[in-house]
């Protein structure tokens, strides 16, 4: 059997076994999932070794004198300490490595949230109110209306996620202010529409994948039947 044909049959059987989940959870499906996780973990380990650790840490430490790479000694030591996380008794030794990872990760997340999401989304909400480039009154009204709907939807959706309670005589009453309640109710409508649109997008994408797989199965079976 030609190697390519063998690979095609492997893909064929794996596809059938995964699609068998439609009939209900079964042992063969779970078996394929185990194989999938094993292969993914193996491939990820190889990628981490060859594309992260080897070029950035091991090769520089091995091929060049240590004096030229003193800065790499710190991550090397922290990396070794991180391995102690595998032992429940010695896992405390890995805490400094985790602390560096968490601290840098938190700072990068803050930077990403502020510059990537907050600034971008806020400027996107404001931009429809920039009317200087528009000529006709109709387009001004149309853009202004769209901008107001967008702004109202954004504010109301945010109000829906406001979980603060009103205080009375220094104690929480357990209920939100009336204005927040009204805005949250409108926000619920926008969120339902958004989740519906997202659902439609995911459903369309998964349907496309299902059609592609069925097409693959038919293409493999066609020469065998005819």
Partner 1 sequence: MRAPLSTAIAIGAGIITLLGLFIPVEPITSLRGRLIEWAVLLAGVAGLVAIVHLLSVHWRKMTARRNKNIPSAFLLIAFALTFAAGMVLKPGHPSMQKIVTHIQVPIEASLMGVLAVTLTVAAIRLFQRRSGWMSFLFAVSAFVFLIIGSGLLSSSANIPVLKDILAAVNALPVAGARGILIGIALGSLTTGLRVLLGTDRPYSG
Residues 113-172 that bind partner 1 (CB under 8 A): 113-118, 121-122, 124-125, 142, 146, 149-158, 160-161
Task: Check residue 61 for interaction with partner 1 (CB under 8 A).
Answer: no
Smallest gap from residue 145 Cβ to partner 1 (A): 8
Residues 23-52 that bind partner 1 (CB under 8 A): 27, 30-32, 34-52
Q: Please list the residues that pair with 121 across neighbouring strands.
A: none
Residues 182-201 that bind partner 1 (CB under 8 A): 187-201
Smallest gap from residue 167 Cβ to partner 1 (A): 21
Smallest gap from residue 132 Cβ to partner 1 (A): 21
Q: DSSP for 21-45?
A: GGG---HHHHHHHHHHHHHHHHHHH
Structure tokens at 143: 């853009």
Residues with Cβ within 8 Å of 73's Cβ and at least 6 positions away in sequence, in order, are 66
Stretch that binds partner 1, among 62-70, 78-86, 129-137, 167-175 (CB under 8 A): 78-86
Alpha-carbon distance 31 to 43, whole Å?
18
Structure tokens at 221: 């079976």
Q: How far is CA 130 from the centre of its chain?
A: 32
Stretch that binds partner 1, among 62-70, 109-117, 164-172, 174-182 (CB under 8 A): 109-117
Task: Check residue 73 for interaction with partner 1 (CB under 8 A).
Answer: no
Task: Check residue 109 for interaction with partner 1 (CB under 8 A).
Answer: yes
Smallest gap from residue 98 Cβ to partner 1 (A): 4
Where would I find the H helices in the chain?
3-19, 27-48, 59-63, 70-83, 95-111, 119-126, 137-160, 178-225
Alpha-carbon distance 193 to 119, whole Å?
24
Which member of 75, 134, 144, 176 binds partner 1 (CB under 8 A)? 75
């Amino acid at each position: 059997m030609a190697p390519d044909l063998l690979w095609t049959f492997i893909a064929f059987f794996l596809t059938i076994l995964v699609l068998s989940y439609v009939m209900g959870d079964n042992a063969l499906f779970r078996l394929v999932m185990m194989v999938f996780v094993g292969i993914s973990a193996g491939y990820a380990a190889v990628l981490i070794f060859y594309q992260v650790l080897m070029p950035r840490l091991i090769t520089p430490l091995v091929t060049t004198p240590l004096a030229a790479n003193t800065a790499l000694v710190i991550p090397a030591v922290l990396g070794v300490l991180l391995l102690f996380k595998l032992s429940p008794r010695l896992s405390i030794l890995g805490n400094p490595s985790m602390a560096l990872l968490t601290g840098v990760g938190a700072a990068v997340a803050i930077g990403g949230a502020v510059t990537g999401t907050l600034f971008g989304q806020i400027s996107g909400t404001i931009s429809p109110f920039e009317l200087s480039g528009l000529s006709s009154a109709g387009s001004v009204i149309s853009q202004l209306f769209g901008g107001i709907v967008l702004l109202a939807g954004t504010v109301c959706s945010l109000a829906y996620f406001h979980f603060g309670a009103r205080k009375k005589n220094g104690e929480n009453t357990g209920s939100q202010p009336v204005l927040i309640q009204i805005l949250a109710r409108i926000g619920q409508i926008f969120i339902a529409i958004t989740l519906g649109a997202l659902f439609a997008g995911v459903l369309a994408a998964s349907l496309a994948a299902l059609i592609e797989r069925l097409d693959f199965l038919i293409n493999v079976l066609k020469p065998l039947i005819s």
